[in-house]
Every structure is written in C-alpha cells, then in structure tokens.
C-alpha cells in the first residue's frame, strides 16, 4: 500500500515517519535515491514523502514531495549535494537569548535565511527571567526587523508563552533557528509538557539510554499546554527542534536579500554607473551614504558577506549540476 507520510526524525539511514497518528519507520529506495543520475532531494524532518508500506519491517521511501519551505546547509563532503535541515515549516522562530550580548549581524543573517527559506520570521528572545532591562535590545531588534513580531519568553517561568497561542494551530509548523545554548530545546520541552529534547545542562553521560541521539526532530504539540506556573494555554500544530545551525548557507534565492537589504539596493539604483561595484567608482551613492553615516557600516558589511555566500552557493550548485549531467551522459 502506498501512503503519504511526514518525516518526524532522521536516524542515520532510517527515517521516523508519521501517517495520521500512526508512527512507522522507513528506508530509502536505493534505485530512486542513489542510482538515478539526477539531483534528488533526500528527506529531512518536515518533509512529505511517498512510502510503500511493508507488512513486516521498514517501509520503503519512494520520493520526497515538493517543499514549500526549506533550510539548507553545506555538505561537509565536497561534491555532494547540500543537506536539507528542515522543511515545510510556516514560521521560523529566530531564537536569541536576552542575557547574552545581543549581536545585530547575527540577527540580520538569521532574518535573511528565514526570508529565503520560504517561512515567516518571528523573533523569540529567550531567558527573559535573566534580563531586567530589555528595552534597549527590543529597540535594536525593532529597528533591524521592522514589521517582524518579537516576543520575550522564559522557559523557566513561562513568561511570554501565552502571547504565542496564535502560532500553535493544527496544520501549522514552527521551526526553531538559533545558536546552541539559547534555549531552543527548553522551549520545546515547555510546549510539549515533558522533556522531549535533551537540554545542554544534562551531561551526555547522565543522559545515556534515556534519549535517542536524534539531533533534529518534529513534535506534535498537545492541544493544551501547561506552563511552569500551572496556567493553561491553547496548543496544537507541530514544532521542529534543530541543533545550532552554524553552517547554514544562503540559498540561491534572492528574496531574503531583497527584504533585508532593501535600503542598499535602493541606494545602488542612484549610483552613476548601473554596474557600480561600490568600490572606487565615481558617483557612487553607496559610498557616499557610508561616509555620511546614512548607511550603517555594520549593515553594509553583513550585506557584502551574505552576497559572497550566495554567490558561492550558486557556484556550488552549478558545479553539481554539471557533474550530474556528465554522469547521466555516461550511462
Ligand atoms: N535562565 C534561563 N535559562 C534557560 C532558559 N531556557 C533555557 N535555559 C538554559 O540554557 C541552557 C541551554 O538550553 P537548551 O534548551 O539546551 O538550548 P539549545 O541548545 O538552544 O537547545 C540550559 O542550561 C538551560 O537550562 C530560560 O528561559 N531561562
Ligand atoms: Mg537543543
Ligand atoms: Zn555604487
């Protein structure tokens, strides 16, 4: 029997799948994924896949269905396709902790990645129990991300969670994005009402045997969420926890760059030369704005480095395509 399933976890070469409320396990159909000579999408958490149900043993994953959103990261092995981290989410909760120094460039980078992924960014400032004066951070966030919703939460006290009810809805998926240690897994554990994900204060050795070693996983949020102070809010929907994604790459899409750096793209239109590289060209509006301070140096630097990464991603993709073409012709 063939079904559509949702991938809820990836364990090496075995996939945890969900069909309705049923959980099953699947493995990739070798001929479909490894010997096809085409660029195939490998399943990741959140993916919808077609599976062939086996009466006994693991089911067979036939293909990955088209994604509405995705995060990619660089494959450590040269020449192999980049890896999808999570797929088919609606909202990207950009998670940063209030108590650590707040880094504007990091936020810009995450925002760009979020816009590019096809999801909607939401900013989650965690550990609000540790920070008395949050006004300064909030002002900075609002100026960097106008129009993006921002929430201060504490997984210890439950502060701020009731404002998030609108994101917990059936058929709706949230993905957590942020450096390790900011409190993503603690957030998931509050939402789930039990310890689903290992948090970093539990030493690996203590945790052995209690948790599987899955590092990213999707959970079905219960209909009612009981907060640490015992108050209850409405739940529902799904949430994906991820490890810190340091090697997240900027995809080929340009939407993210356009939304985040509209000011720079607009300035560039005023340069004397339409192909101005904003270096030594006369009549450069970008350089002038940098001199007068109208354009923030840091914002400009983030733009340049993200642009470089984007070009790099595009180049990698082209090399990969050529390789695939070659191997197809050879067969
Ligand atoms: N004070 C405080 N500490 C928190 C909060 N949430 C998480 N932490 C702590 O921050 C550390 C990292 O949390 P964890 O959930 O593992 O972060 P992750 O790496 O983003 O998944 C742990 O020691 C948590 O106990 C919070 O709301 N308040
Ligand atoms: Mg974690
Ligand atoms: Zn210029």
Give the CATH number of domain 255-330: 1.10.40.50
How confident is residue 196, by pLDDT bands cut at 50, 70 and 90? Answer: confident
Q: Determine the atom of ligand 1 nearest the C-alpha atom of 126.
A: 27
Reported as a single tens digit per residue, the pLDDT across 256-299 is 677 778 888 889 999 999 999 998 999 999 999 999 999 998 88
Q: Determine the atom of ligand 1 nearest the C-alpha atom of 95.
A: 20
Q: Of the candidates 114, 91, 106, which has an alpha carbon nearest to the alpha carbon of residue 299? A: 106
Q: CA angle, corner 204, sides to 203 and 209, nearest 5?
A: 120
Among the listed ranges 156-170, 227-241, 253-267, which one has the minimum average pLDDT value? 253-267
The rounded Å distance from CA 129 to ligand 1 centre is: 11
User: 2-66, superfamily in CATH?
Assistant: Nucleic acid-binding proteins (2.40.50.140)
**Residue reference for tokens 């959140």:** 46
**Where in the chain are the domains?**
2-66, 87-241, 255-330
Reported as a single tens digit per residue, the pLDDT across 79-114 is 666 778 899 999 999 999 998 767 888 888 888 888
The rounded Å distance from CA 25 to ligand 2 centre is: 24
DSSP state of 248: B
The rounded Å distance from CA 291 to ligand 3 centre is: 13
Q: Are 245 and 216 in contact (CB under 8 A)?
A: no
**Ligand 1 surroundings by CB, under 6 angstroms:** 126-127, 129-130, 154-156, 178, 180-186, 199-201
Q: Determine the atom of ligand 1 nearest the C-alpha atom of 157.
A: 27
As to burial, measured by CB atoms within 10 angstroms (0-12 exposed, 13-18 middle, 19+ buried), residue 62 is: middle
**Three-class DSSP category at 60:** strand
The rounded Å distance from CA 203 to ligand 1 centre is: 13
Domain 87-241 belongs to what architecture?
3-Layer(aba) Sandwich (3.40)
């Amino acid at each position: 029997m063939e079904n559509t399933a949702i991938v809820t976890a990836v364990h090496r070469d075995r996939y945890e799948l969900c069909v309705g409320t049923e959980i099953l396990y699947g493995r990739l159909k070798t001929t479909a994924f490894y010997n096809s000579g085409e660029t195939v999408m490998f399943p990741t958490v959140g993916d919808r896949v077609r599976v062939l149900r086996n009466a006994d043993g693991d089911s067979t994953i036939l293909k990955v269905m088209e994604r509405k959103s995705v995060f990619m990261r660089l494959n450590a092995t040269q020449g192999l396709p980049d890896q999808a981290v999570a797929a088919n989410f609606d909202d990207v909760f950009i998670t940063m902790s209030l108590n650590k120094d707040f880094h504007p460039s990091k936020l810009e980078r995450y925002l760009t990645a979020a816009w590019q992924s096809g999801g909607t960014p939401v900013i989650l400032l965690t550990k609000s129990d540790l920070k008395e004066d949050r006004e300064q951070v909030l002002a900075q966030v609002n100026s960097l991300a106008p129009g993006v919703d921002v929430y201060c939460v504490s997984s210890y006290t439950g502060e701020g969670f009731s404002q998030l009810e609108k994101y917990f809805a059936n058929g709706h998926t949230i993905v957590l994005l942020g450096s390790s240690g900011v409190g993503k897994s603690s957030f998931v554990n509050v939402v789930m009402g039990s310890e689903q994900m290992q948090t970093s204060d539990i030493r690996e050795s203590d945790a052995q045997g209690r948790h599987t070693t899955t590092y990213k996983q999707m959970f079905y949020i219960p209909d009612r969420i009981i907060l640490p102070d015992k108050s209850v809010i409405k739940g529902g929907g799904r949430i994906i926890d991820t490890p810190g994604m340091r090697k997240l790459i900027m995809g080929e899409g340009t939407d993210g760059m356009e939304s985040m750096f509209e000011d720079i793209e607009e300035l560039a239109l005023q340069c004397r030369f339409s192909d101005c590289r904003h270096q030594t060209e006369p009549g450069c509006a970008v350089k002038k704005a940098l001199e007068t301070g109208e354009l923030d140096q840091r914002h400009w630097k983030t733009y340049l480095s993200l642009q470089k990464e984007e070009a790099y991603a595009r180049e990698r993709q082209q090399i990969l395509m050529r390789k695939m073409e070659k191997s197809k012709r050879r067969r």
